[in-house]
Amino acid sequence: MSFTAPIQLPGLTLDPLWYKRSVFYEVMVRSFVDANGDGSGDIAGLIGKLDYLQWLGVDALWLPPFYQSPLRDGGYDVSDFTQILPDFGTVDEFRELVTKAHERNMRVVMDFPLNHTSDQHEWFQQSRSDPDGPYGDYYVWSDTDEKYENIRIIFVDTEESNWTFDPVRRQFFFHRFFSHQPDLNFENVAVQEEIFNIVRFWLDMGVDGLRLDAIPYLFESEDGNGEGEPPTHEFIKRLRAMVDEEYPGRILIAEANQWPREVAAFFGTDEEPECHMAFDFPVMPRIFYSLRAQRADELVQILSEQTDVPKSAAWGVFLRNHDELTLEMVSEEYRQAMYGWYAYDPRMRSNIGIRRRLAPLLDNSRDEIELAHALLFSLPGSPFLYYGDEIGMGDNIWLNDRDSSRTPMQWTPDRNAGFSTADPGKLYLPVVQSLVYNYSLINVESQLAQSRSLLHWIRNVIHVRKRHPVFGLGDLKVLHTNHGSVLAFVRSYEGSGEQFGDSPEQVMCVFNFAHNPAAFEIDATGYEGAALYDLFGGGQFPTIGEDGKVTLTLGSQSFYWLHIGQPTFQAN
């Protein structure tokens, strides 16, 4: 299938590149709305809020795991891949969610933690008690804990080794994450088949895509570091081929917290594609770095490095998610700077990262929050929002681990922030009641009532982005400026012609990271004589000079998105 060919489904023509134009919204079922009053969010509650999400402009939901699970790792510890945890609802309710989302032209992407299971999974129970039985080889067992010594420990706060001794089987089992999460043995063909069948099970239900959790870690070897080893890529290629063949239009998203080249490898090639999307782990910490360093050079550098990716590939850009803000992929010097700026209290740290939400990270500065979102929505790739960040929700660093930023969504100033009718003590986590982020102040209802609220601002930006396919589909070229705090780039898109009716467009995006106003010159060679128009209000800006230069000013921590119009004169 060519990646631009429209997909024909009965009565429906789908854009196969839908994920490149989509605004994604990560919502943990447990945290959003509790419809049955048991203190935990559920699928029925989420269904009831689809109108809100549609109003916001969300095109696709990403749902972290809601499978059967002992919930010792937020549901990433699955004990049955084809069952839904009863606290969250039923398979029928999930089917209804997919249908109701589709009715609103909204897609549903679910999480698939395929690298490991919970130790409560039946496969593990069988594997440990019957080594010669059908599940004996489903996990990575060893008589010694000295294998794979090049493989780093990820959860450094809690784990001392990637091996744990199992007293039942009297062998060690391998785990990249918690010691209650044994890694599946991907060398075993039966395990690979199980994975394919679980994918089919959910895609048959109408799910539009899967986020492949912890995807670099499927295979390990004695010489390698267990991250993106060749057999892991081979496996993903086969999975992608199956999805393209049996479920065209559905997508795979790579969660690969790696250096740029390694992340890009999870896209595969045009001939042998792997994932349609990959989270942009390299760019994310550099956004936070630039905000406080007041310097654009880190972003200039990473955006100037053209990583070759297949034409159909899309980055998933994000500011925050349900995990800590990971600092694994920055240098030690930068990491220390980031800890100093953003995690001055040790309670704010977790593993190699920072367990805080966006608004508290940015000290509730509206300017910084807007600037960060302006980047999120204009960098190459599709933006992923984290539930609650659209209203600037706070966190609770007194809670354990990453629960600090998984507290109930704040809907109203009423009991339990309108999240649940349960006795407040029964909630899965308490609502945020801190001085600055108290739910009586920060909630959807009150922000709906204020036209200048963050919520309305974010909704507006989302809608502006959606009117300009250049953001999802266009190329990026960094422009030189004479100011160290200013980042400028042009996004340009040739248009899709008749197929989806998009016209060509070029947009200049300019960001000032300085905590003071700035006047600066941009070198826009190639656009001599072009008029610039503000994308939000249409106002005309200075025309680019005959020498390709334009001088602009920006207030502290602010930005422009400028449509590049036709040249008003002929350059010599």
Binding of residue 74 to ligand NOJ (CB under 6 A): yes
From the list 69-77, 218-226, 510-518, 523-531, the region that binds ligand NOJ by CB under 6 A is 69-77
Comparing C-alpha atoms, which of 270, 291, 290, 266 is closest to residue 279? 266
Binding of residue 214 to ligand NOJ (CB under 6 A): yes
Footprint of ligand NOJ on residues 113-152 (CB under 6 A)? Answer: 113
In angstroms, the CA 537 to CA 432 distance is 36
Q: Are 382 and 18 in contact (CB under 8 A)?
A: no
**Residue in 87, 213, 280, 324 binding ligand NOJ, rule: CB under 6 A:** 213
Catalytic residue check, 255 = yes
Binding of residue 75 to ligand NOJ (CB under 6 A): no
Min dist. Cβ of residue 218 to ligand NOJ (A): 13
Min dist. Cβ of residue 544 to ligand NOJ (A): 44
In angstroms, the CA 168 to CA 418 distance is 46
Question: With left for phi above 0 and alpha for psi between -120 and 50, is residue 90 left, alpha or beta?
Answer: beta
Catalytic residue check, 213 = yes
**Two tokens, residue 383:** 């933006």
289 exposed, middle or buried (CB, 10 Å; 0-12, 13-18, 19+)?
A: buried
From the list 72-80, 156-164, 187-195, 453-461, the region that binds ligand NOJ by CB under 6 A is 72-80
In angstroms, the CA 286 to CA 108 distance is 29
**Residue in 32, 76, 139, 437 binding ligand NOJ, rule: CB under 6 A:** 76
Footprint of ligand NOJ on residues 171-190 (CB under 6 A)? Answer: 177
In angstroms, the CA 291 to CA 371 distance is 9
Amino acid (one-letter) located at 424: P
Per-residue contact string for residues 97-116; x = within reach of ligand NOJ by CB under 6 A: ----------------x---
Under DSSP, the state recorded for 493 is E
Instruction: Indicate which residue of 213, 229, 370, 390 is catalytic.
Output: 213
Instruction: Indicate which residue of 183, 255, 298, 324 is catalytic.
Output: 255
φ, ψ at 519 (rounded to 5°) = -115, 135
* Residue written as token pair 């510890």: 77
Per-residue contact string for residues 251-280; x = within reach of ligand NOJ by CB under 6 A: ----x-------------------------
Min dist. Cβ of residue 214 to ligand NOJ (A): 5
Q: 94 or 177: whose CB is closer to ligand NOJ?
A: 177
Residue closest to ligand NOJ (Cβ): 76
Compute how many residues bind ligand NOJ; rule: CB under 6 A. 10
Footprint of ligand NOJ on residues 303-342 (CB under 6 A)? Answer: 322-323
Min dist. Cβ of residue 181 to ligand NOJ (A): 6
From the list 9-17, 73-81, 504-512, 518-526, the region that binds ligand NOJ by CB under 6 A is 73-81
**Residue in 34, 42, 59, 73 binding ligand NOJ, rule: CB under 6 A:** 73
Q: 315 or 560: whose CB is closer to ligand NOJ?
A: 315
φ, ψ at 341 (rounded to 5°) = -75, -40
Q: 73 or 280: whose CB is closer to ligand NOJ?
A: 73
Q: 191 or 369: whose CB is closer to ligand NOJ?
A: 191
Q: What is the 3 state secondary structure string of 374-439?
A: HHHCCCCCEEEEECCHHHCCCCCCCCCHHHHHCCCCCCCCCHHHHCCCCCHHHCCCCCCCCCCCCC
Min dist. Cβ of residue 73 to ligand NOJ (A): 5
Residues 6+ apart with CB under 8 A from 230: none
* Residue written as token pair 């080893």: 229
Helix intervals (H) in 49-111: 50-56, 91-103
Annotated catalytic residues are 213, 255
Contact residues: ligand NOJ, CB under 6 A:
73-74, 76, 113, 177, 213-214, 255, 322-323
